[in-house]
């Protein structure tokens, strides 16, 4: 009448055994543990364009984000069973509860012992394995030809469920009741040889369908709420199938399972050859002779560990030892390719109705971009971010860019500064982009969610602080505030290990900018504070050695960056950080190996902030004049000290006198060498400043002291124009 085949989802050994069993059994109907309501989608299983890994996406119409995925790989037993059924043209009946049925949670206390929480894991521990996956692999997936294994599995779960764990959670009770009802219906529909394929755990509950009355099952299902679900096929990939990607039900090692499923013999040799080849491309010594050694080692290891044949752990150990000279980091390079693999599935266009695509089209309407979406020509658009719909459009375009759908490109010249409210875009829709949207569906069901997850992944793979700065910009503009904590944590990590203080100096002003002017919510502010207050001290500690003994070019680069850091710190205005900064400036000013331009600048800031009084300052300048080896060094110092403005000299006659005496003391040759630098320093000053200095120089006699705080001459005509403008602005 019927046979129940207990399998493990995505178990390659189960898949092979199941195919063999089905061929022997010759069923006239296949029941699989998939939610009822997926019949239509399952009818496409034989479409040659549908290539695993693919997933069934089930989602309620109104709530795209609560959709769930049921992935299949080539080695999934369900997939193989359905392939078999469609080839033999027998019906495929999904027998599980519909998606989205709410089952009330049990009120009684279920025991939370180790065996209850993870029964298979418990058995695995007893058998001396680290986790249930490996234990199951070694115990049930190896003997792929032995059909008796189905009975063994059934017996084991029966003992577990009836002897030890009789308190099944309510959801499972309801599901199994529904499965039994489906079995009864199939029998009623006059099928004679029914193959039931389900997860091993359910086997005992299904086999005894005759001992449980249909009535009691019906009562178990009474009153459960239903919700309409849509079903669609979407392409999947091995990365998503594995545990690494975060979706609950997956397998650790898809590529390894594919190998187990595809080949019968010499799995170790195949796997190690592949490892050897990949490592060779990474420059490792992995000649065929080595592969042989590795195979031998893996076999000895498995014998020592009492395993019938080498498993993934023995093979990895052997590969690390033989190919990588014991260096497991080298092996990590190829590990993902070997164990997870990079395969992506395909779904024919006719079968896609993707929530992300729907949300995308909805967003276009809301953001009033439909015209641009339909246009074949490039469209220019200037967005005013103070207007709501245009802000939405901006967010959408930024988010799509994150998803690698480059529909909108920022136009040249518009720098999209944080805090500015205008963005200029060039929009050009290319039909191929829709495929990218579909591909992005694995990241989420709405544009926002997908951009969020994609960005999260980007954050994980970025290792350079500079690139993180770019991502930070994208996060702020695409309005994904939930990622700020990830971002700052990553920045913290990288900042902690970087030896390159310059990148930190670069990052700090950007962070302060975003902190002050970004539109982040209150909940994110403290993340920025944390990172700023962490990066700050690191810069302070590292600056002296970074600025010591460096070439002029680098010194200037750091000098201009330090000015930005200084402004950023003033803007950030945290007293603890400021006082640390002052200490750091003192250090910079006081160490002789620091480049002169930076020393000079540090003195200037200290002087401006009143940390150094005028007498000490004059003394210091005199000191530098006496100790600097060449006039050029002093000129560099001066450039830093004057910091782009001559006002200091105009207002401090003492400095003026010192400099004047110095210039006069130089020989002609010395003067000529420093002239270019001096000219550069002075030409940066404002024109009125320069005029003023000229007049001082003309009227000043050596030895005479210029009058302090001389009245500034005012050009009445020029002033009147300015005054008019001010009046207008203030409306007086």
Partner 1 sequence: MKDVVRPPVETIYQKELEALKEVDDRPKPKNWELSPWAVVQFLLGGKLKNDIEVEPKYFGDRRLIELAVSTLVTDRALLLTGIPGTAKTWVAENLAAAISGDSSLLVQGSAGLAEEALRYSWNYAQLIAKGPSKEALVASPIMKAMEQGKMARVEELTRIPSDVQDTLITILSEKILPVPELNFSIPAQKGFNLIATANDRDKGVNELSSALQRRFNTIVMPLPSTLEEEVKIVKSRVEKIGQQLELPAQKSPVEEIRRLVTIFRELRSGRTEDGQNQLKSPSGTLSTAEAISVFQNGQALAAHFGNGQVNAEDIASGLTGVIVKEGEQDLQVWQEYLETVVKKRKDWADLYEACMGWIK
Give the residues lining the site for partner 1 (CB under 8 A): 285, 287, 289-290, 293, 296-297, 300-301, 303-305, 313, 317, 321-322, 325-328, 492-494, 496-497, 499, 534, 537-538, 541-542, 545
| φ, ψ dihedrals at 425, nearest 5° | -120, 155
Q: Nearer to partner 1 by C-beta: 480 or 491?
A: 491
* Shortest separation between residue 594's beta carbon and partner 1, angstroms: 14
Q: Nearer to partner 1 by C-beta: 526 or 567?
A: 526
Q: What is the CA radius of gyration of the chain?
A: 37
* Shortest separation between residue 131's beta carbon and partner 1, angstroms: 15
Q: Nearer to partner 1 by C-beta: 356 or 532?
A: 532
* Shortest separation between residue 642's beta carbon and partner 1, angstroms: 31
Instruction: Report how far residue 297's alpha carbon sits from residue 303's, in angstroms, rounded to the nearest whole number.
Output: 10
What contacts 287, CB < 8 A, 6 or more positions away? 276
Both structure tokens of 351? 């079968």
Cβ-contact 540, 579 below 8 angstroms = no
Cβ-contact 450, 409 below 8 angstroms = no
* Shortest separation between residue 434's beta carbon and partner 1, angstroms: 41
Q: What is the 3-state composition of the chain as percent helix, strand, coil, each rounded to the nearest 5?
A: 60, 10, 30
Q: Nearer to partner 1 by C-beta: 401 or 546?
A: 546
* Shortest separation between residue 518's beta carbon and partner 1, angstroms: 24
Nearest to 466 by CA among 430, 441, 432, 490: 490
Q: Nearer to partner 1 by C-beta: 313 or 520?
A: 313
Give the strand pairing for 194-199 and 29-35.
parallel
Sign for the pseudo-dihedral over CA of 498, 501, 507, 513: positive
Q: Nearer to partner 1 by C-beta: 311 or 600?
A: 311
* Shortest separation between residue 698's beta carbon and partner 1, angstroms: 50
DSSP 66: G
What contacts 255, CB < 8 A, 6 or more positions away? 238, 337, 338, 339, 340, 341, 343
DSSP 28: S
| Residue whose token pair is 């239509």 | 40
Sign for the pseudo-dihedral over CA of 325, 326, 330, 331: positive
| Residue whose token pair is 């199951």 | 136
What contacts 372, CB < 8 A, 6 or more positions away? 379, 381, 427, 429
Q: Nearer to partner 1 by C-beta: 318 or 621?
A: 318
* Shortest separation between residue 536's beta carbon and partner 1, angstroms: 11
Q: Nearer to partner 1 by C-beta: 531 or 565?
A: 531
Q: How does 179-189 read in b/e, with b if 16+ C-beta sit within 10 Å?
A: bbbbbbebbee
Instruction: Report how far residue 288's alpha carbon sits from residue 323's, in angstroms, rounded to the nearest whole number.
Output: 11
* Shortest separation between residue 328's beta carbon and partner 1, angstroms: 8
* Shortest separation between residue 543's beta carbon and partner 1, angstroms: 10
* Shortest separation between residue 47's beta carbon and partner 1, angstroms: 46
Q: Nearer to partner 1 by C-beta: 464 or 496?
A: 496
Q: Nearer to partner 1 by C-beta: 237 or 298?
A: 298
Q: Nearer to partner 1 by C-beta: 318 or 638?
A: 318
* Shortest separation between residue 490's beta carbon and partner 1, angstroms: 10
- E strands, 341-455, are 379-384, 408-410, 422-427
DSSP per-residue string spanning 76-102 = -HHHHHHHHHHHHT--EEEEEPPTT-B
């Amino acid at each position: 009448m019927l046979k129940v085949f207990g399998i493990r989802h995505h178990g390659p050994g189960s898949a092979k055994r199941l195919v063999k069993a089905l061929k022997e059994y010759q069923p006239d109907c296949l029941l699989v543990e998939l939610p009822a309501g997926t019949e239509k989608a399952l009818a496409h299983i034989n479409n040659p364009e549908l290539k695993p890994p693919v997933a069934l996406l089930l989602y309620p119409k109104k709530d795209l984000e609560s959709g769930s995925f049921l992935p299949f790989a080539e080695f999934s037993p369900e997939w193989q069973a359905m392939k078999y059924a469609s080839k033999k043209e027998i019906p495929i009946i999904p027998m599980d509860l519909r998606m989205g049925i709410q089952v009330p949670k049990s009120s009684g206390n279920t025991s939370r012992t180790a065996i209850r929480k993870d029964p298979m894991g418990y058995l695995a521990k007893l058998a001396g394995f680290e986790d249930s996956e490996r234990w199951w692999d070694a115990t049930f997936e190896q003997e792929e030809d032995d059909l008796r294994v189905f009975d063994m599995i059934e017996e084991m779960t029966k003992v577990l469920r009836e002897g030890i764990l009789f308190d099944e959670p309510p959801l499972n009770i309801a599901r199994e009741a529904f499965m039994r009802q489906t079995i009864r219906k199939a029998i009623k529909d006059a099928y004679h040889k029914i193959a039931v394929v389900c997860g091993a755990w359910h086997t005992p509950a299904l086999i005894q369908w005759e001992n449980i009355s249909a009535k009691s099952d019906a009562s178990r299902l009474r009153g459960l709420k239903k919700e309409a679900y849509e079903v669609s096929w979407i392409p999947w990939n091995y990365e998503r199938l594995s545990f690494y990607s975060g979706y609950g039900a997956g397998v650790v090692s898809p590529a390894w399972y594919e190998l187990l499923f595809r080949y019968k013999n010499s799995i170790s040799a195949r796997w190690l050859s592949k490892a050897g080849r990949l490592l060779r491309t990474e420059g490792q010594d992995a000649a065929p002779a080595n592969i042989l050694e590795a195979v031998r080692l893996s076999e000895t290891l498995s014998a020592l560990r009492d395993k019938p044949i080498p498993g993934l752990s023995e093979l990895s150990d052997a590969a690390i030892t033989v190919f990588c000279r014991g260096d497991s980091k080298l092996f990590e390079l190829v590990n993902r390719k070997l164990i997870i693999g990079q395969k992506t599935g395909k779904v024919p266009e006719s079968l896609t109705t993707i929530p992300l695509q729907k949300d995308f089209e909805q967003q276009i309407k809301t953001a009033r971009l439909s015209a641009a979406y339909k246009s074949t020509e490039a469209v220019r658009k200037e967005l005013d971010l103070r207007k709501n719909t245009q802000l939405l459009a901006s967010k959408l375009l930024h988010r799509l860019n994150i998803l690698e759908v480059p529909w909108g490109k920022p136009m040249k010249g518009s720098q999209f500064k944080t805090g500015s409210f205008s963005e200029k875009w060039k929009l050009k829709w290319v039909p191929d982009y829709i495929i990218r949207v579909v591909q992005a569906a694995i990241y989420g069901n709405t544009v926002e969610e997908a951009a969020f997850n994609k960005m999260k992944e980007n954050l994980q793979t970025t290792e350079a602080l500079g690139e993180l700065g770019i991502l930070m910009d994208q996060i702020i503009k695409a309005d994904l505030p939930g990622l700020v904590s990830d971002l700052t944590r990553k920045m913290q990590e990288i900042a902690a290990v970087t030896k390159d203080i310059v990148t930190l100096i670069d990052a700090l002003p950007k962070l302060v900018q975003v902190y002050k002017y970004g539109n982040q919510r209150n909940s994110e502010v403290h993340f920025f504070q944390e990172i700023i207050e962490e990066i700050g001290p690191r810069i302070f500690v590292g600056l002296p050695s970074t600025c010591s003994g460096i070439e002029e070019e680098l010194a200037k680069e750091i000098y201009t960056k330090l000015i930005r850091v200084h402004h950023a710190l003033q803007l950030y205005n945290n007293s603890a950080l400021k006082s640390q900064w002052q200490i750091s400036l003192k250090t910079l000013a006081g160490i002789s190996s620091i480049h002169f331009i930076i020393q000079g600048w540090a003195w200037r800031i200290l002087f401006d902030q009143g940390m150094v009084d005028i007498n000490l300052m004059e003394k210091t300048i005199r000191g530098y004049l006496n100790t600097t080896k060449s006039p050029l060094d002093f000129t560099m110092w001066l450039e830093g000290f004057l910091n782009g403005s001559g006002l200091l000299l105009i207002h401090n006659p003492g400095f003026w006198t010192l400099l004047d005496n110095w210039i006069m003391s130089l020989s002609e040759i010395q003067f000529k060498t420093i002239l270019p630098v001096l000219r550069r320093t002075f030409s940066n000053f404002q024109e009125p400043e320069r005029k003023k200095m000229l007049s001082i120089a003309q009227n000043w006699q050596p030895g005479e002291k210029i009058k302090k705080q001389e009245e500034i001459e005012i050009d009445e005509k020029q002033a009147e124009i300015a005054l008019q403008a001010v009046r207008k602005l203030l409306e007086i």
